[in-house]
């Protein structure tokens, strides 16, 4: 029996509490933990943990949303990221050494950075899908943060469970896809030394919708390789093909493209047959309307 390759996802964040019960129960899926904090240059680091909690919350979310994925942790900050050059090095490592399929980045800067842009373009050239948080500054941020506003990165906004935009989202951009997914009161793991049993907290914002969107992309990639030959399934690693798939998985709501899981969006439409038709259409360049 042929076993499908698992999807590889890199999380660039504040680390991970690998002793947390929810993480520990799935520790075999945490393939590597490395740090770029304090110029450590990607040193292996399973002991430092997570001083913030942010990275642990995101890692646990991805483990939940994308069960057929393996996770690679790049610790690029203790709390808020401040060094774009170190983040660029982490991206380069994710491309060259981990050879991931997806990179999740729940952070943003007001200004662009040349080194970080170069690393993003290199990842894009290797057909690695990148997701970044739009920001939580509302209309005060005239544009989404960087790298979310980079043309090779999926800019992810946050919604409530009904698909409504949450407070703090930047204004939806015209002539763009403004993909959003759940980012309000999202329940996930928090480091044991920073929380009380059962060591989970609810958080809101685009930081927490971003890994969910990345997880949905991982599900699409895994499903594509189960129903398609490699020459077609690999096309979904391309930014434009995944963007088109997300378009079919979303509903337009007040300027935002609210993403739904495939099982929800296609429910009641002879689900499997429609998904196959849409994916094959996207792969061939002529998507079928669902």
* Average pLDDT value over all residues in the chain: 92
| pLDDT tens readout for residues 148-193 | 999 999 999 999 999 999 999 999 999 999 999 999 999 999 999 9
207 is known as an active-site residue: yes
From the list 104, 106, 159, 207, the catalytic residue is 207
150 is known as an active-site residue: no
pLDDT for residue 290: 45
54 is known as an active-site residue: yes
Quick one: how far is CA 281 from the chain centroid? 24
| pLDDT tens readout for residues 16-65 | 999 999 999 999 999 999 999 999 999 999 999 999 999 999 999 999 99
Quick one: how far is CA 205 from the chain centroid? 14
From the list 13, 45, 50, 60, the catalytic residue is 13
CA atoms within 13 A on the CB side of 152: 18
| pLDDT tens readout for residues 71-119 | 999 999 999 888 999 999 999 999 999 999 999 999 999 999 999 999 9
Higher pLDDT, 67 or 142: 67
* Four-way CATH pick for 7-284: 3.30.390.50, 1.20.1250.20, 3.40.50.200, 3.40.190.10: 3.40.50.200
Q: Rounded CA gap, 213 and 62, in Å? A: 9
What residues does each domain of the chain span?
A: 7-284
86: enclosing H helix or E strand: helix 84-93
Q: Is the pLDDT of residue 138 over 80?
A: no
190 neighbors 199 (Cβ within 8 angstroms): yes
**Percentage of the chain lying above the pLDDT 70 cut:** 92
- Locate 178 and state its tokens: 């403004």
From the list 20, 54, 124, 248, the catalytic residue is 54
| pLDDT tens readout for residues 229-248 | 899 999 999 999 999 999 98
């Amino acid at each position: 029996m042929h076993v499908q390759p698992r999807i590889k996802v890199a999380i660039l964040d504040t680390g991970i509490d690998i002793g947390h019960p929810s993480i520990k129960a799935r520790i075999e899926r945490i393939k590597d933990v490395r740090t770029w904090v304090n110029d450590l240059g990607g040193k292996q680091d399973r002991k430092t943990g997570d001083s913030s909690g942010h990275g642990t919350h995101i890692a646990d979310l991805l483990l939940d949303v994308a069960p057929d994925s393996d996770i690679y942790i790049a610790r690029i900050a203790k709390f808020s990221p401040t060094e774009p050059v170190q983040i660029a090095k982490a991206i380069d490592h994710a491309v060259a050494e981990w050879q991931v399929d997806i990179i999740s980045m729940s952070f943003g800067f007001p200004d662009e950075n040349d080194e970080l842009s170069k690393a993003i373009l290199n990842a894009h050239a290797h057909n690695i899908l990148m997701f970044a948080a739009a920001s939580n500054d509302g209309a005060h941020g005239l544009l989404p943060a960087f790298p979310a506003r980079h043309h090779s990165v999926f800019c992810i906004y946050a919604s409530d469970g009904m698909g409504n935009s949450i407070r703090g989202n930047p204004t939806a951009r015209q002539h763009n896809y403004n993909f959003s997914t759940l980012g309000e009161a999202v329940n996930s793991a928090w480091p044991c030394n920073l929380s009380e049993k059962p060591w989970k907290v609810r958080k809101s914002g685009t930081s927490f919708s971003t890994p969910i969107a990345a997880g949905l992309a991982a599900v699409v990639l895994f499903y594509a390789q189960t129903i398609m030959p490699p020459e077609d399934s690999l096309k979904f690693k391309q930014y434009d093909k995944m963007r088109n798939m997300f378009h079919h998985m979303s509903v337009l709501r007040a300027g935002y493209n609210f993403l739904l899981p495939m099982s929800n969006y296609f429910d009641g439409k002879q689900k499997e047959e429609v998904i196959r038709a849409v994916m094959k259409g996207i792969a061939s360049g002529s998507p079928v309307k669902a």
